[in-house]
């Protein structure tokens, strides 16, 4: 899916993964008790920031699954979905495989 | 429409899009319940900031539709309209098409 | 009018425009209800700041009409008038014509 | 054990050592009284941060036992385990032997 | 008058002008109602700060009348008088004539 | 005594000196009234921090007696002893003889 | 008097001058009403800080009488006396003669 937004600088658009709706034991978790997810899929990647006249390349790419802190990014409505726009420096790591 | 203001440095004049006045289901939303819009149209773009003696070019252009954070910019009355003046770094991304 | 003060560095002396004393409908606005103006005329301009040994030229000039944030600058009594001394970076833009 | 995450920049994935469950005298310590451990094992190491265009090499390596401050890092669930992702600058030292 | 203190770096010793003791209409102003003056005379000027190995020259000179913000500087007793020691960057401008 | 920890960067491991247990007059001081010591012995010294690609050498050495501020450093248990890990910049001075 | 401490970096050891114990009129001032002195004698001077690989020389010397702000420095007991260790940048000026 191509996001209909072009992030500026070193920003990244991330679609949070759905929070678990069942516990490991099979109980349904009510909405208010769900933990805010800290894992998501990269939808769009900015061109990278410019530092002292040099462009710094981005490390993450579209479709990467990434981990981020609980308070990272700004929530934006995009094409009817809640997505996050955050700086690449707010991304903690890329999940393999 | 040409704005009657020339922003300084890396500042951008943005006209916020009107907040939704109806819900998806057709109900009218009272003014006080409207979410502050986070999407607007660029009316004017500054020349870019100077960093260590080098001018940094601007990325957004007039008429771009841009996304910005809830608390970005300063509200100013311009030609009878409420517009925002913000730094380009407060703009999260450019909406396509 | 030449201001009797020479601002230091990148500072600018701005004379705030008088706040509106009448509403659009013709009602008089009492002093306490007047909005603090955010628009003024430049009376004097400093020589510009020095950054890493290089002088950075000023963008605004005397007699420009400028916009600034609500809390910009320091109020000073000058020749019997209340004026503001602010840094050029506190000026949001120059109003045309 | 290879961690299924690739940390970004100068970040490090650390698995905290289990807190003591017995006092020196043999008493069991209830969960709520356990001190948060400040010692752990490095599971994965980022490529190092880039500063002014130069990559800064990492000092810690996988499997090192490291000490860190009580509030260092962000807790993340990884492969069913609670791990910490922190910057190398949050690591105080490497324990020998 | 030569001050008996040599300010360090970009510091300046300023003797505040006496606050007005009479209103324009001739009423005496009690001490507690006097506005703290924001205008003073430069008694001594430091050699200038060193930035990245280069000395930055001072702009103000002894005997200049200067304006400064309400909370600028540190009060010090010098030769029985209350004077202010402030950095040159706290001085807003030099009053002419 | 060689510490079993290798501090990272410009960090230093310091063993605080025991607080006085008697006043000058011979009275015993209860534990809760003892002043936190601000003097200790250096057990281990990091390799020094890297600044803009240049290693900055350390000034303190193992076995130096050093002074530090009341809130300097992080407390860590090392080989059964409470030690402090602090940055060299938190050390105020080296005590002679 | 040579201080038995070698300050690190741009730090300076200052012995505060005794606070006045009598008012100008001859009244004794109780301890709790004494103003904290802001004037002292330099006992020891560090080698100077290193900035971007260049040592910055110190301006004050041993035995100088210096002025400093009310909250400057850290109090340390040295050879039975209360002295202050502060950075040279906390020193406002050197008193002549």
DSSP letters spanning A20-56? PSB-TTSPBPPGGGSPPP-EEEEEEE----EETTEEP
Helix%, strand%, coil% for chain F, nearest 5: 5, 45, 50
Q: List Cβ neighbours of C64 (8 Å cut-off, separation of 6 or more).
A: C41, C42, C94
Check pLDDT > 60 for residue C25: yes
Write out pLDDT tens, residues G14-27.
999 876 666 667 77
Check pLDDT > 60 for residue G54: yes
Position A67 scores a pLDDT of 94
The reply to whether residue D92 touches residue F7, judged by beta carbons under 8 angstroms, is yes
**pLDDT confidence tier of residue E61, bands split at 50, 70 and 90:** very high
CA neighbor of D5 nearest in space, from A18, A97, A14: A97
The Cα D69–Cα B91 span in angstroms is: 36
Contact list in G for residue F67 (CB cut-off 8 A) is: 5, 76, 85
Q: CATH homologous superfamily for B1-17+37-97?
A: GroES chaperonin (2.30.33.40)
The reply to whether residue D95 touches residue F4, judged by beta carbons under 8 angstroms, is yes
Write out pLDDT tens, residues D62-74.
999 999 988 899 9
Q: List Cβ neighbours of E73 (8 Å cut-off, separation of 6 or more).
A: E14, E84, E85, E86, E90
Average pLDDT over residues D19-48: 76
**pLDDT confidence tier of residue E69, bands split at 50, 70 and 90:** confident
The reply to whether residue D8 touches residue A91, judged by beta carbons under 8 angstroms, is yes
Q: CATH homologous superfamily for D11-94?
A: GroES chaperonin (2.30.33.40)
The full set of domain ranges for chain F reads 11-94
Write out pLDDT tens, residues F56-66.
889 999 999 99
CB F8 within 8 Å of CB F49: no
Contact list in A for residue B92 (CB cut-off 8 A) is: 7-8, 11, 74, 76, 85
Residue at token pair 């020479």: C6
Contact list in E for residue G38 (CB cut-off 8 A) is: 76
Question: Nearest C-alpha of chain B: how many angstroms from C94?
Answer: 5
Q: Is the CA virtual torsion B75, B77, B81, B85 positive or negative?
A: negative
Position F7 scores a pLDDT of 95
**pLDDT confidence tier of residue D15, bands split at 50, 70 and 90:** very high
Helix%, strand%, coil% for chain A, nearest 5: 5, 45, 50
Q: In percent, how much of chain A has pLDDT > 90?
A: 48
CB G16 within 8 Å of CB G84: yes
* Token reading at C47: 């020589």
**pLDDT confidence tier of residue B22, bands split at 50, 70 and 90:** low
Write out pLDDT tens, residues E17-31.
876 666 667 777 666
Tell the burial category of B82 from Cβ atoms under 10 Å away from its Cβ (0-12, 13-18, 19+).
exposed
State the Cα angle at F82 between F77 and F85, rounded to 5°. Answer: 80
Number of Cβ pairs < 8 A linking chain A and chain D: 42
Chains B and A touch (3+ CB pairs under 8 A): yes
**pLDDT confidence tier of residue F4, bands split at 50, 70 and 90:** confident
Decide if the complex's ipTM is over 0.85.
no
CA-based nearest residue in chain A for residue D86: A92
Check pLDDT > 90 for residue E85: yes
Average pLDDT over residues F33-45: 82
Report chain C's mean pLDDT, rounded to a whole number: 84
**pLDDT confidence tier of residue D1, bands split at 50, 70 and 90:** very low
Position D87 scores a pLDDT of 95
Q: In percent, how much of chain D has pLDDT > 70?
A: 80
Average pLDDT over residues D34-60: 85
The Cα F42–Cα F16 span in angstroms is: 9
The Cα D62–Cα B64 span in angstroms is: 47
Q: CATH homologous superfamily for G11-19+29-94?
A: GroES chaperonin (2.30.33.40)
Position D36 scores a pLDDT of 64
The Cα C56–Cα C51 span in angstroms is: 7
Average pLDDT over residues A35-64: 87
Position A38 scores a pLDDT of 86
Q: Considering CB atoms only, which of D59, D60, D92 is closest to F76?
A: D92
Q: Which residues from E are below 8 Å from C when comparing CB atoms? A: 38, 51-52, 54, 56, 59-60, 67, 69-70, 88-89, 91-97
Report chain E's mean pLDDT, rounded to a whole number: 84
The Cα A41–Cα A38 span in angstroms is: 10
Identify any residues that bridge with A5 across adjacent strands, giving them in sequence order: B95
The Cα B5–Cα B15 span in angstroms is: 13
Report chain F's mean pLDDT, rounded to a whole number: 84
Write out pLDDT tens, residues B49-65.
887 777 888 999 999 99
Position G1 scores a pLDDT of 46
Position C26 scores a pLDDT of 72
Contact list in D for residue F85 (CB cut-off 8 A) is: 67, 92-93
Class of the CATH-defined domain A11-18+29-95: mainly beta
Question: Which of D54, D67, D86, D94 should we substitute to test contact with F (largest number of F Cβ atoms within 10 Å)?
Answer: D67
Helices then strands, each counted (H, E), chain F: 0, 9
Q: Considering CB atoms only, which of E54, E70, E96 is closest to C6?
A: E96
CA-based nearest residue in chain B for residue A86: B92
Q: In percent, how much of chain B has pLDDT > 90?
A: 48
Q: C64-68, E2-6, E79-83, G66-70: which range is least confident on average?
A: E2-6
CB B39 within 8 Å of CB B18: no
Position G69 scores a pLDDT of 87
Q: List Cβ neighbours of D80 (8 Å cut-off, separation of 6 or more).
A: none
* Token reading at A7: 């992030």
Q: List Cβ neighbours of G76 (8 Å cut-off, separation of 6 or more).
A: F38, F67, F92, G5, G82, G83, G84, G85
Contact list in G for residue F88 (CB cut-off 8 A) is: 8
Class of the CATH-defined domain C11-18+34-94: mainly beta
Position E1 scores a pLDDT of 46
The reply to whether residue A85 touches residue B94, judged by beta carbons under 8 angstroms, is no
Number of Cβ pairs < 8 A linking chain D and chain F: 42
**What DSSP line would sit under D28-74, residue for residue?**
BPPGGGSPPP-EEEEEEE----EETTEEPPPS--TT-EEEE-TT-SE
| G71 or F11, which is more confident | F11
């Amino acid at each position: 899916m191509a996001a209909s937004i072009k992030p500026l600088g070193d920003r990244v658009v991330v679609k949070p993964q759905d929070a678990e709706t069942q516990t490991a034991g099979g109980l349904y978790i009510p909405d208010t008790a769900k933990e805010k997810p800290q894992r998501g899929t990269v939808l769009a990647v900015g061109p990278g920031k410019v530092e002292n006249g040099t462009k710094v390349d981005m490390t993450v790419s579209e479709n990467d699954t990434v981990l981020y802190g609980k308070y990272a990014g700004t929530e934006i409505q995009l094409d009817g979905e809640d997505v996050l726009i955050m700086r690449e420096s707010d991304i903690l790591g890329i999940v393999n495989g």
